Structure 1
Amino acid sequence: MGRRPVPGRHQHDVRPDRQRTRNPPVITLRHHLLTVVAVFLALAAGIVLGGGPLSDVNQSVVTAGNDDEPAPAADRARTDYTESFVSALGPGAVGGRLAERSVALVTLPGADEQVVAALAEQVAASGGSVSARYELSDDLVDPGQKSLVDTLGSQLLTQQAEGDVAAEASTYDRIGQLLGLAVATKDVEGQEVNGKARAIVDAVSGAGLMAKPDEVSQRAPLVLLVLGTDARDEGADAILAGLAQGLAAQSVGVVLAGTTADGGDGQLGRFRADPAASGVASLDGIDTTAGRVATMITLQRSLATPGGAFGASGADGPVPLG
């Protein structure tokens, strides 16, 4: 006797373990950022879409979208190509943007030295100059050392900055403004270092809150504040906000810059939720060539327009377009 057909068997002919679903294309955030900024920089350099190197970048993105599972080596090669592409276009895109303007480079503890050096090189490539490097110490941003910072700030306010810094300023806003008086100026042309500036630097460095820089001759209109290690200590975010806000009060413009990891829920991302962010431009992605180029464009923008969130996770886009 033949076997009777099992009702509904055809419903089981295609089994779950035989189903094949194409994986979505894998394009990293870093790759996406670099590609977007590369397109912008290409436009800034006058390259015509549809021909030349830019068409290769577009093709790279399309190819990535057609791969089921891009091999790590292939993905790395695409990222390296985009980095090289932006590096080649960078000088043409930033050249002259900071002409005859100086930038005070202020770094927080743990800032990557290679990235800091690369940022200084980009300032020079943009026609500007770094007035000095000011390295803030661990004690300055340690919530446990607030009493020291508060006492020093009160003394300097009375001795050097009465009338320049509001007496009711909070501890870290006040020390930020005092540092601003020493390293920056509201004059877009920059100003010579005066006795007040030297006295503040001597006092802050003497208290172990900052490394004393080499001989400095000028106070800069722009401040580039570079993030370091995200300690995530309670009170650390308020310290950063106070410092940035204080520096912004005494300068033409401040750009707070961090790596791609600093965006999102990192320290830079959290800063963007603070009211102090309205007067301070922020940018994440300085660990990439594109991010460093975008930092120069953001510095130029800050000469006329404060604020803005740019970079890999910036709400205002990867780079200022206006």
Structure 2
Amino acid sequence: MINFRYHIVSLMAVFLALSIGIVLGVTFGAPVNAGIATQAEADRKQVQDLRAELDRRNALDEYRDAWATRAGQQLTDGELAGTRVGLVAMPDAQAGVLDALGTAVTDAGGTLTSTTRINANAYDPTKVDELNSALEPYATPLGLDAAMSPGTRFGLALGWALGDKDIPDSDAGIDEIRRSLTRASLVDIDDEGVGQAQLLVVVTAKSEPRPTAETLVAHVEADVALKKHVVGVVLAGPNSDNIEGTDVFTARNESAAVELLSTVDVADLPSGVSTVVLAGKEQLLGRQGHYGGLAKADNPLPALPVR
């Protein structure tokens, strides 16, 4: 699709080519020269008008983002007070989105427990043996069985490593599972040393590069399994430009995920960051929803106030 900015660049390229031709002294007849000059002037005027329109749109974008950021801070103030929150970055998750959500969590009164970066190895079908070897010593406490998919097995283990729900009092098993997942190059966990998470925010990736359908299903299977060991899970998708081929879209088309998880498809926008916080609060209250502006969103944001 040709967007507005691409249109401007194309026109500028045409105008530049015409200008270079004239400067280099390309010889045409008088009527042709006059026509080129007239067209060049018209193109110059159009480019100036389009550039002014682009500046106007950019200014409005900046205004909307600034407004949404300020309003969102007021809207989410205190919503996560007393809540321990872990961030989980999927492969190819954007650092900027991860940082924005981390800031939003603490601004809303939450305590950030850990930031976990999942490596692509965790979902690589050619590395299932490595995954199974890492989890085999803990199969009994984790409740793993051979009928479970690799995604589900991984999600249960990661939930145990990060969450505080249905975990034995001793944290020895938590540390051991974390080390096993890390040694197998499945995850990198940056722990803040403030306890286990009650809420996990899973920061997903944009639509490109697009994973296979099987990989997307494995992602969502793991997300669903995470819920066993935390009160709430929110998938935060930076998908305002395209939702096809994303974790959020896949989750919205899988019945177990629809019923258990919350999703936000615009986590790359300031308004979406605030929506993730509100969706997290809703999860803590035992409810779920799918928010944003794209396919299969229930509403732009949860019903306010979130109580």
Q: What's the TM-score once normalised by structure 2's chain length? A: 0.74
Identify the residue that residue 222 of structure 2 maps to in structure 1.
243
Indicate which of 88, 111, 114 corresponds to 2:93: 111
How far residue 286 of structure 1 moved from its aligned partner, in angstroms, is 1.3
193 and 276 in structure 1: CA distance in 2 versus 1, 3 angstrom threshold: farther
Identify the residue that residue 135 of structure 1 maps to in structure 2.
117
181 and 240 in structure 1: CA distance in 2 versus 1, 3 angstrom threshold: same
Whether the 8 Å CA contact 1:263–1:269 is kept in 2: the answer is no
Whether the 8 Å CA contact 1:177–1:246 is kept in 2: the answer is yes
Q: Which runs of 5+ in 2 are unaligned?
A: 5-51
Percentage of matched positions with identical amino acids: 24
| 2:286 maps to 1:305 | yes
Superposed structure 1 runs of 4+ greater than 6 Å apart: 190-193
Task: Considering fraction of residues, name the structure with more helix.
Answer: 2
Indicate which of 289, 301, 306 corresponds to 2:270: 289
Whether the 8 Å CA contact 1:122–1:292 is kept in 2: the answer is yes
Whether the 8 Å CA contact 2:65–2:269 is kept in 1: the answer is yes
The 5 A counterparts of 1:213-224 are 213-214=190-191, 216-224=193-201
The 5 A counterparts of 1:238-277 are 238-261=217-240, 264-267=243-246, 268-277=248-257
262 and 236 in structure 1: CA distance in 2 versus 1, 3 angstrom threshold: farther
Whether the 8 Å CA contact 1:192–1:219 is kept in 2: the answer is no
| 2:181 maps to 1:177 | no
User: Hey, what's the Cα distance between the residues in 2 that align with 1:180 and 1:192?
Assistant: 15
How far residue 215 of structure 1 moved from its aligned partner, in angstroms, is 5.4
Give the counterpart letter for 1:296 in structure 2.
V
User: Hey, what's the Cα distance between the residues in 1 that align with 2:268 and 2:169?
Assistant: 32
Indicate which of 135, 138, 162 corresponds to 1:153: 135
How far residue 262 of structure 1 moved from its aligned partner, in angstroms, is 7.2
| 2:184 maps to 1:207 | yes
Identify the residue that residue 54 of structure 2 maps to in structure 1.
72
In the comparison of the two structures, how many residue pairs are matched?
251
User: Hey, what's the Cα distance between the residues in 2 that align with 1:192 and 1:117?
Assistant: 31
294 and 140 in structure 1: CA distance in 2 versus 1, 3 angstrom threshold: same
User: Hey, what's the Cα distance between the residues in 2 that align with 1:149 and 1:182?
Assistant: 15
Give the counterpart letter for 2:276 in structure 1.
T
192 and 93 in structure 1: CA distance in 2 versus 1, 3 angstrom threshold: farther
